[in-house]
Amino acid sequence: MSKGILELKDITKVYDNGIVANKKIDLEIWENEIHAIVGENGAGKSTLMKIIFGMEQPTMGKYFLHGAETQMNSVEQAIRSGIGMVHQHFMLVESMDVVDNIMLGIEPKKGMLMDKKAARKMVQDVAEKYRFQLNYDKPVSEISIGMKQKVEIIKALIRGAKILILDEPTAVLTPQETQELFVQLKMLTKLGHTILFISHKLKEVKEISDRITVIRKGETRGTFPTEDLEIREISNLMVGRDVSLNYEKTRSQYGEVLLEMKNVTSKTDSGKMLKNISFALQRGMILGVAGVEGNGQSELVEILTKRGESYDGEIRIFKERLKNHSIKSLRSRGLGYIPEDRMTQGIAAEETISDNLISTRFHSRKFGKRAQLDKNAILSYADEAIRSYEISCHGNDHIVGYLSGGNIQKVVVGRECDEDVELLIAEQPTRGVDLGAAELIHHKLLDMRERGAAILLISADMNEIVELSDRCLILYDGEIVADFHEPKNHSEQEFGEYMLGLKKQGE
Question: Rule CB under 5 A: which residues touch Mg ion?
Answer: 46, 88, 404-405
Stretch binding ligand ATP (CB under 6 A), from 44-52, 241-249, 306-314, 378-386: 44-52
Q: Which of 41, 199, 213, 298 binds ligand ATP (CB under 6 A)?
A: 41
Three-class DSSP category at 8: strand
Q: Is 402 in the site for ligand ATP (CB under 6 A)?
A: yes
Residue 231 binding target from other proteins, Mg ion, ligand ATP, none, CB below 5 to 8 Å by type: none
The answer to whether the beta carbons of residues 128 and 78 sit under 8 Å apart is no
DSSP 250: P
Q: Is 88 in the site for ligand ATP (CB under 6 A)?
A: yes
Three-class DSSP category at 448: helix
Q: How far apart are CA 270 and CA 476, in angstroms?
A: 17
| 107 burial type by CB count under 10 A (0-12 exposed, 13-18 middle, 19+ buried) | middle
Select the residue whose beta carbon is closest to ligand ATP and give its number. 405
Q: Could you give the angle at the alpha carbon of 184 between the alpha carbons of 178 and 187, nearest 5°?
A: 145
Q: Is 496 in the site for ligand ATP (CB under 6 A)?
A: no
Q: Which of 1, 2, 10, 15 binds ligand ATP (CB under 6 A)?
A: 15
> For other proteins, which is the closer residue by CB, 284 or 414?
414
CB of 217 to ligand ATP, least distance (A): 9
In the range 10-39, which residues lie near other proteins by CB under 8 A?
14, 16-18, 20
Q: Which of 391, 408, 466, 499 binds ligand ATP (CB under 6 A)?
A: 408
> For ligand ATP, which is the closer residue by CB, 118 or 349?
349
CB of 421 to other proteins, least distance (A): 13
CB of 150 to other proteins, least distance (A): 16
Paired strand residues for 146: none
The answer to whether the beta carbons of residues 438 and 405 sit under 8 Å apart is no
Q: Is 118 in the site for other proteins (CB under 8 A)?
A: no
Three-class DSSP category at 228: helix
Residue 406 binding target from ligand ATP, other proteins, Mg ion, none, CB below 5 to 8 Å by type: ligand ATP
Q: How far apart are CA 484 and CA 482, in angstroms?
A: 6
Size of the site for ligand ATP (CB under 6 A): 23
CB of 1 to other proteins, least distance (A): 32
Q: How far apart are CA 32 and CA 210, in angstroms?
A: 10
In the range 46-75, which residues lie near ligand ATP by CB under 6 A?
46-47
CB of 65 to other proteins, least distance (A): 16
Three-class DSSP category at 260: strand
Three-class DSSP category at 117: helix
Q: Which of 6, 29, 34, 45 binds ligand ATP (CB under 6 A)?
A: 45
Q: Which of 226, 404, 428, 430 binds ligand ATP (CB under 6 A)?
A: 404
Q: How far apart are CA 154 and CA 173, in angstroms?
A: 15
CB of 4 to ligand ATP, least distance (A): 23
Nearest to 46 by CA among 89, 14, 101, 79: 89
29's torsion region: left (phi>0), alpha (psi -120 to 50) or beta? beta
| Contact map string, positions 312 to 351, toward other proteins, x by CB under 8 A | --------------xxx-xxx----x-x----xxxxxxxx
Question: φ, ψ for residue 494 (rounded to 5)?
Answer: -65, -45
DSSP 251: P
Q: How far apart are CA 411 and CA 353, in angstroms?
A: 7
Q: How far apart are CA 28 and CA 2, in angstroms?
A: 11
In the range 288-307, which residues lie near other proteins by CB under 8 A?
305, 307
The answer to whether the beta carbons of residues 234 and 38 sit under 8 Å apart is yes
DSSP 2: P
Within 97-247, residue ranges assigned H as helices are: 98-102, 116-129, 145-158, 175-190, 202-208, 231-239
CB of 331 to ligand ATP, least distance (A): 26
CB of 360 to other proteins, least distance (A): 5
Stretch binding ligand ATP (CB under 6 A), from 12-20, 177-185, 309-317, 412-420: 12-20
In the range 259-288, which residues lie near other proteins by CB under 8 A?
267-268
Q: Could you give the angle at the alpha carbon of 151 between the alpha carbons of 148 and 157, nearest 5°?
A: 150
Three-class DSSP category at 292: coil
Q: How far apart are CA 70 and CA 356, in angstroms?
A: 42
The answer to whether the beta carbons of residues 332 and 420 sit under 8 Å apart is no
> For Mg ion, which is the closer residue by CB, 288 or 405?
405
Number of Cβ within a 10 Å radius of residue 120: 19
Select the residue whose beta carbon is closest to Mg ion and give its number. 46
> For other proteins, which is the closer residue by CB, 18 or 192?
18
Q: Which of 17, 250, 489, 493 binds ligand ATP (CB under 6 A)?
A: 17
Nearest to 218 by CA among 407, 16, 51, 23: 23
CB of 325 to ligand ATP, least distance (A): 32
Which parts of this chain interact with ligand ATP (CB under 6 A)?
Answer: 15, 17, 19, 21, 39, 41-47, 88-89, 401-406, 408, 432, 434
Which parts of this chain interact with other proteins (CB under 8 A)?
Answer: 14, 16-18, 20, 53, 55, 59, 74-76, 78-79, 85, 87, 89-96, 100-101, 104-107, 109, 112-114, 155, 159, 267-268, 305, 307-310, 326-328, 330-332, 337, 339, 344-351, 355, 358-360, 362-363, 368, 371-373, 375
